[in-house]
Amino acid sequence: MRGEGLAMHVWCMMNKEQRQRSASKSPWVVRRTLDRNRNLLRAWREQHRQTTEVAEEAAEWLVRRGFNFHYHTHVDATSDGRLAVMCFDEGYVLDGGAVVPVDPAVRG
C-alpha cells in the first residue's frame, strides 16, 4: 500500500511538472506564432504590391509558409467599414471569400 502511494505521488509530481513546463512555454508559443504571422503578412503584402497577378491563392500562400489563422491580436475597422483581422500592425480583410492584405497607410 505504501509503495503504491509513493508511486502515485511521483506520478502526480511528474504530471505537475509537465503541466508547469507546458504552461510556461505557452506564452512563447503564442508570441512566436504571432510574430511568424506578422512577418508572413508583411512579406505577402509586399509581394502583392509588387505584382498585379497573384500566382497563388492568398490564403494558400500564407498557409504553405506556416501562417496560422487561429492567431491574431485584434480586429480593426478599415476606412471603408470592413473588418480587418490584425496581427500587430499587419492584417488582412476577407473580401468575398478572398483574403486581401490591409495597407497600413489606408487603415482607418
Q: What is the domain partition of the chain in residue ranges?
A: 2-101
- Radius of gyration of the CA atoms of the chain, in A: 21
Residue predicted with more confidence, 72 or 105? 72
Which position has the grid cell 480586429? 75
Is the per-residue pLDDT at 39 higher than 80?
Answer: yes
Rounded distance between C-alpha atoms, residue 102 and residue 45, angstroms: 8
The three-class DSSP label of residue 63 is: helix
Dump the DSSP string for 26-52: HHHHHHHHHHHHHHHHHHHHHHHHH-S
94 or 52: which leads in pLDDT: 94
With bands split at pLDDT 50, 70 and 90, how would you rate the model's confidence at 87?
very high
| Bridge partners, 54 (sequence order) | none
CA distance 108 to 77: 6
Closest CA to 107 of 73, 80, 75: 80
